[in-house]
Structure 1
Amino acid sequence: MALTREEREKFLAEPHIAAFSVDAGPGRAPLTVPIWYQYEPGGDVWIMTGLDSRKNQLISAAGRFTLMVDRLEPTIRYVSVEGPVVETSPATLEQLWEISARYLPPEKVDGYVDFAWKNHGEQVVLRMRPEHWVSSDLGQV
């Protein structure tokens, strides 16, 4: 059964690892990889990636991307959201800390952020405006 707007936005706001997909060009299937993301209900979704990464190059060419998050327990539930990139900006240390704190245990955040900021190269934040949603909870019958 499809989720209501409130249910799908609440689910997307939880810290799931997303399957990220973007058009990879002629003769190629979409690039699909796991990614951290940030979302608050009613707002834009944002991700962080390397300025020179393949993901960023493909997103720049396509102008949009898709995220899909799911769970298996207590019921199989998923939300997929797709939309246009509405902003690209240099990543800040605060944004790196925010997204890291979403996914890592508190005692690991500072060490990871310090390492990533020094070693991952220049990062960008891409904001996507949710335009198309697909969702379901297969336990709601």
Structure 2
Amino acid sequence: MALTREEREQFLAEPHVAALSVDAGAGRAPLTVPVWYQYAPGGNAWVLTGLHSRKNQLIQASGRFTLMVDRVEPTVRYASVEGPVIDTIPATLEELREVAARYLPAEKVDGYVDFAWKNHGEQIVVHMRPERWVSSDLGQL
């Protein structure tokens, strides 16, 4: 059963690990990697990534990407959203903290943020405007 707009947006707003897919060019399958992301219903989605990463190079070349999230309990449910890149900006410490707090226990956030800021190299934030959705709740299997 397809999710309503409100259901799919709320589902994407939950802290799932997403599969990010982006065109990898002629003769290649799409690059698909797990990512942390941020999204609020009705808004744009964003991801943090390394400025010099292959993922960022492909996103910038393509101008768009897909995020797909799913769960298997209490029901099998997924949502996939695809859209154009609308902005790419240098990441801030506050954005790193925001996305880390979405996924990590509160007591782990400061340590992770300190480590990531010092060791992951220059990071950017890539904003995507949700354009096409595919979603479903398959119920309990």
State the TM-score, normalized to the length of structure 1. 0.98
Per the TM alignment, residue 27 of structure 1 is displaced from its structure 2 partner at its CA by 0.3
In the other structure, the counterpart of 1:24 is: 24
Q: How does 1:104-119 map to 2 (within 5 A)?
A: 104-119=104-119
Once the two structures are superposed, residues 64-100 of structure 1 have per-residue CA deviations (whole angstroms, 9 ceiling, x without a partner) of 0000000000110000000000000000000000000
Runs of 4+ in structure 1 deviating by more than 6 angstroms, as ranges, are none
Q: Distance in 2 between matches of 1:127 and 1:33?
A: 17
Q: What is the Cα-based RMSD across aligned positions, in Å?
A: 0.7
Q: Distance in 2 between matches of 1:118 and 1:72?
A: 36
Per the TM alignment, residue 21 of structure 1 is displaced from its structure 2 partner at its CA by 0.2
Once the two structures are superposed, residues 13-60 of structure 1 have per-residue CA deviations (whole angstroms, 9 ceiling, x without a partner) of 000000110000000000001000000000000000000000000000
Q: Distance in 1 between matches of 2:3 and 2:115?
A: 39
The share of aligned pairs that are identical, in percent, is: 80
Unaligned runs of 5+ in 1: none
In the other structure, the counterpart of 1:95 is: 95
In the other structure, the counterpart of 2:14 is: 14
Unaligned runs of 5+ in 2: none
Q: How does 1:54-93 map to 2 (within 5 A)?
A: 54-93=54-93
State the TM-score, normalized to the length of structure 2. 0.98
